[in-house]
Amino acid sequence: MSALKGPILFGDFMPEAGLARALAMTRGDVISEVRASGLKGRGGAGFLTGMKWNIAAAAQGNRKFVVCNADEGEPGTFKDRVLLASYPDLVFEGMTIAGYAIGAGSGIMYLRGEYGYLLPGLEETLNARRRGRLLGEAVSGKKDFSFDIEIRLGSGAYVCGEETALIESLEGHRGEPRNRPPFPVNTGYLGCPTIVNNVETLALAARVMSEGAEWFKKIGTGKSTGSKLFSVSGDCERPGVYELPMGITIAQLLKEVGGEEAKAVQVGGASGHCVPAAQFSRALAFEDIPTGGSVIVFGKERDMLLAAKNFMEFFAEESCGQCTPCRYGTKVLLEGIEKLESGKCSMTYLKELLALGETMQLASKCGLGQSAPNAFISIAANFKDEVLGRERCFEGRGQ
Amino acid sequence: MTSKNLESRAPVSQRRQVVPVASAGDGIGASVSLTIDGVEAKVPFGTTILEAAKEMNIRIPTLCNHDDLCIAGVCRVCVVEIEGQRTLQASCAYPVTQPVKVSTHTRKVRQARRHILDLMLANHYGECYTCWRNGNCELQSLAGEYGVDGFRFGKMEKPRYAIDQSSYSVVRDMNKCILCRRCVRTCIDLQEVGVLEAVNRGQETKIACFMDKPLGDVVCINCGQCINRCPTSALAASDPTDEIWAAIDDPGKHVVIQTAPSPRAAIGECFNCPPGTPLTFQMNTALRHCGFDRVFDTNFTADLTIIEEGTELLSRLHKALVEKDKAVALPQFTSCSPGWVKYLEHFHPEMIPHLSSAKSPQQMFGAVIKTYYAKLNGLNPADIVSVALMPCSAKKFECNRPEMCDSGFKDVDYGLTTREMAAMIKEAGVDLPNMPKSDFDEPFGTATGSGVIFGATGGVMESALRTVIELVCGIKVEKLFDHADIVPVRGFEGIRYAELPIKDVGPVPPILDKHFKDWKWLKGATLKVAVAHGTANAKRVLDNIKAGGKFSECHFIEFMACPGGCLGGGGQPIPTSPEIRAARAKAIYAEDAAYQVRKSYENPAVAHLYENFLTDGPCGHQSHKLLHTCYTARGKYIL
């Protein structure tokens, strides 16, 4: 793993400076500052964090909640783990700032079940913060602000990274996404206004409050401000977690990690898109290729159909089974890929599979089903020769 | 958005959420404009697209959606395209909170619907020809309606799951299940029983009971409401028609059938008649045509139930008020609904003493047929096959309860649902709606209107009140209520409460003079009664009693497991909806109004039975042996 170096998160900074500055401001000013920074959610969807906080702050409710989504389950993503292991205080500081901003009294960290080994350390950090009056009654002496954080462990379902399924799981139900609207900012945990933010987002928010929006905006692009953590894996010389400015091109990133020979990069994990070498000049930013941070590098010798199969196996396994397009669609696409693999898939049926992929993108209930076919569709579009070049394909209707 | 939904135990993922009106912009109670397929309308803030479309007479196909259930948004059949949105939205679950432009049949929508149906069919095992829901299947209709022209994504060659036949009442065939989860929502949200849940993930997802146990081994109350709402044949009642045909075909067997009031008001639906078409007397002819030796009216024992249960109630009141017996359990609960009885046995076993010990009309009849009727006709009870036509799936369980053998034989051999009866009539080639009318057979022939209204929620209470008022007060009910219609206990409100002051008392009638000397002790008392239908409402009443609330002061409470009472039972024709149940209720009350005799105690056949068979009177020794029963404290946890 590379040494942790970066402009915003992996640098030297004053601990708790962001919280101190936030508590000296009005709640409204904190939200304005975060809005001004242009910070967008780092889970991948890229919703404006300040706007989310603003809606939750304005929502009616006796109780409000801050939920830190630490259910890092996207294949090829491990940057939150690094943050939680190395900068837990920064994450909790961000949660506390968010709690202050929206008027929440409780924060919940939903920690991926497999990260259970981090739990003792995180609990110790929380206890230290309580001792230091950074949590509990009258945080840092601020009379009208009490806030505490508890940690809950997930149970291994990928779908619980989806915010409404996460809340459903927190409430003790089977982890399945809810109908939206209304969104959690209005009707979330226990029916109360709830913001669900990614680990990295909250850490960045703490840094925004510490250094100011203007400073933050100097890094990144106009539409994608700040830096991004990338979890880089696959066929490259230096896999690891990198903090790089938003807007960096894939080529630049590959150079950084020693993966210039790649023929494709899967951006955004299993639910992301497969980008072929011809498009390596594209930028990793919300306005071009949005990403939660997973970058999987495919070298020259990789079989792209097998890559697609691997991702589809993942979704067929992780679909929560609630809605029809995702539950059965993942299975049909997986079987289709197996047909392609053995050269038994007709062009007509391939077209049917791609159309089914579109249906899944459009009609699934949540982001899991909507993004499940992405990898297959982009691999089929960009690596046609590999997908079709197995054995002879039969023209005509049928399978 | 009803308050019921807020109290729901269903996970939020399985229901529609409250839309905070604060974000409406233009204020509380505001309306929002929307356009569907180019047609503009204004709807109240938070109305779903599907509701709006219904108002506008625009059809959007649905599958997991059901009028009686909370909204799940899981099947995705009802997706529509909203201008400016990347993905399609489930119209059933999308509340309109700002102006939207909706299209219901764009390329994307048509493709998605077709794919969704294709995917369901690819995972649905079985042939339509051999399916009991052939012609009455929502999946089949949608496939026909929305352009399914082949098994685009293949079809199941082999069944994946064993059929669960462990329950006396409900058969589960998960090979037919399309995971719309109506059954899950019916069980947890409508009935608040909660024995069904989705388990596993992805394509392994299935509906299962706790720990994947068979249905017969869990706390299922057999109400069968899940069957009525299943869009396919994944759920069915346990069907005894082959055994019944065999008995009919056996010349050594004397096959009698008793028919409950609710099937008559509903069976027409299986023959394309509109809901609420009463076919009582046509059905009598049809049943004889099928080969039943005698056709009896369960209303006879409904009247008997009123006498027995009413006497029991008066005895309890006497014990409490005169003998000052603190141990007597009041309010007394009705015991006609076997789903309700099992619900109480599982979930509130400590309240079993409140249950009337009177058997249900079905079981009373069973015991009378194999004793009194057998003797009267010189029949060997072993050669009698006793069938009960019921609107109910739980009746199948009830007749198999081990204690239901007081005649020395199995009192009722088979419980038959309205749907199964319709299938038998069809199999016999009988055109039910056009059959000539004929009456019930003697010696039980004459029934009263009181027996008929047992089919509707509040009916048992109304029948009991008609009899109790006249026997105690010595006046005609008509003096208190026009046409003896006790309107306060009628209707479909989930829980109803009524008070009846006893201003004057009359002499004790001969039928009760073994139990009571006079009614003076009731003079000036106020009889407090309540009615609840659907176990979710029953739960509210029981919780209120336990908390010492208003219902703890009641004397008598009618409980029915099924919403609407028996007319909404789990054996009734599919589909069901509030409108369909209301139409059936109308037919039942119309039949009551047409009867000459409308009070149970005036039923001459009942009087005759007490004179000649149950000679020690209501709640006497003989009646206790044959007409009363005991219950089992089952508890919630079955190991």
- CA distances to A250, A291, B440, B564 from B277, rounded to whole Å, are 72, 62, 19, 17
Report the alpha-carbon distance of residue A62 to residue B341 in Å, rounded: 41
- pLDDT the model gives residue A2: 47
Q: What is the pLDDT of residue B639?
A: 65
The minimum CA-CA distance between B21 and chain A, rounded to whole Å, is 10
Q: What is the pLDDT of residue B13?
A: 67
pLDDT in the model for residue B2 = 36
Within 8 A of B11 by CB-CB distance, chain A residues are 168, 171, 173-174, 176
pLDDT tens track for A217-248: 999 999 999 999 999 999 999 999 999 999 99
Q: How far apart are the CA of B178 and the nearest CA of chain A, in angstroms?
A: 8
Residues paired with residue A70 on neighbouring β-strands, in sequence order: A111
Q: Give the whole-angstrom CA distance, residue A330 versus residue A316.
A: 5
CB count in 10 Å sphere of residue A281:
11
185-244 in chain B: CB under 8 A from chain A? 197-198, 200-205
CA B554 to CA B576: how far, in whole Å?
32
Q: Alpha-carbon torsion B267, B272, B276, B282, what sign?
A: negative
Q: List all residues of chain B from 102 to 121 with a beta carbon under 8 Å from chain A.
A: 108, 111-112, 115-116, 119-120
Q: Computed from CA positions of residues A23, A28, A31, A36, in that sequence, does the dihedral angle turn out positive or negative?
A: negative
Q: What is the pLDDT of residues A3-60, one digit of tens each?
A: 578 899 998 899 999 999 999 999 999 999 999 999 999 988 899 999 999 999 999 9
Known catalytic membership, residue B13: no
B309 is catalytic: yes
* φ, ψ (nearest 5 deg) of residue B399: -70, -10
Catalytic position from the list B309, B345, B470, B591: B309
Interface predicted TM-score (ipTM) of this complex, two decimals: 0.93
Query: How many CB atoms sit inside 10 A of residue A287's CB?
Result: 13
Residue in B73, B119, B202 nearest the CB of A316:
B202
In terms of DSSP bridges, do strands A227-234 and A294-298 run parallel, antiparallel, or are they unpaired?
Answer: parallel
pLDDT band at A390 (very low <50, low <70, confident <90, very high): confident
Asked if residues A374 and A361 have their Cβ atoms less than 8 Å apart, the reply is yes
B254-259, strands of its sheet edge to edge: B294-297, B254-259, B384-390, B414-417
Whether A159 and A326 have beta carbons less than 8 Å apart is answered as: no
What pLDDT does residue A5 have? 85
Strands B556-560 and B526-533: parallel
Q: What residues contact residue A110 under an 8 Å CB cut-off, 6+ apart?
A: A67, A68, A69, A70, A71, A152, A154, A160, A166, A169, A170
> CB distance A318–B73 less than 8 Å?
no
Which of the following is catalytic: B138, B192, B269, B312? B312
| A324 has a chain B CB within 8 A of its CB | yes
DSSP per-residue string spanning B433-469: GGSPP--PPTTS----HHHHGGGSTTHHHHHHHHHHI
Query: Is A364 an 8 Å CB contact of chain B?
Result: yes
Task: Tell me the C-alpha distance between B121 and B139, whole Å.
Answer: 8
CB contact under 8 A, A179 and B13: yes
Is any Cβ of chain B less than 8 angstroms from the Cβ of A359? yes
Residues of B (548-607) whose Cβ lies below 8 Å from A: none
Asked if residues B169 and B513 have their Cβ atoms less than 8 Å apart, the reply is no
Is there a contact between B308 and B365 (Cβ–Cβ < 8 Å)?
Answer: no
Q: Is B177 a catalytic residue?
A: no
Distance from CA of A274 to the nearest CA of B (A): 20
Q: Measured between CA atoms, how close is B474 to chain A, in angstroms?
A: 56
B81 among known catalytic residues: no
What are the distances in angstroms from CA B130 to CA A49, B126, B127, B179? 56, 8, 6, 21
Q: Least CA distance to B78: which residue of chain A?
A: A363
Beta A273-276 vs A264-267: how paired, if at all? antiparallel
Query: Would residue B602 show up in a list of annotated catalytic residues for this protein?
Result: no
- Paired strand residues for B101: B35
Whether A1 has a pLDDT exceeding 50, the answer reads no
| Residue contact A178–B198, C-beta within 8 A | no
How far is the C-alpha of B172 from the C-alpha of B151, rounded, in Å? 25
Determine the pLDDT at residue B447.
77
Query: For this structure, is B403 an active site residue?
Result: yes
The pLDDT tens digits for A142-197 are: 999 999 999 999 999 999 999 999 999 999 999 999 999 999 999 999 999 999 99
Residue A397 has pLDDT above 50, yes or no: no
Give tens-digit pLDDT for A262-310.
999 999 999 999 999 999 999 999 999 999 999 999 999 999 999 999 9
Distances (CA, A) of B292 to B9, B264, B366, B447, B492: 45, 17, 16, 20, 35
Question: Is residue B395 among the annotated active site residues?
Answer: yes
**Cβ contact, residue pair B112, A359, below 8 Å:** yes
How much is the pLDDT for B15? 62
Q: Does A313 touch chain B (CB under 8 A)?
A: no
Cα distance between residue A213 and residue A18, in whole Å: 12
Task: State the pLDDT at residue B300.
Answer: 94
List, as ranges, residues 99-128 from A with C-beta within 8 Å of B: none
Report chain A residues whose CB lies below 8 A from the CB of B17.
178-179, 182, 187, 191
* Active-site entry in B566, B591, B599, B623: B566
| Prior bond of B331 cis (ω within 30°) | yes
Where chain B has pLDDT below 50, the residues are: 1-6, 22-26
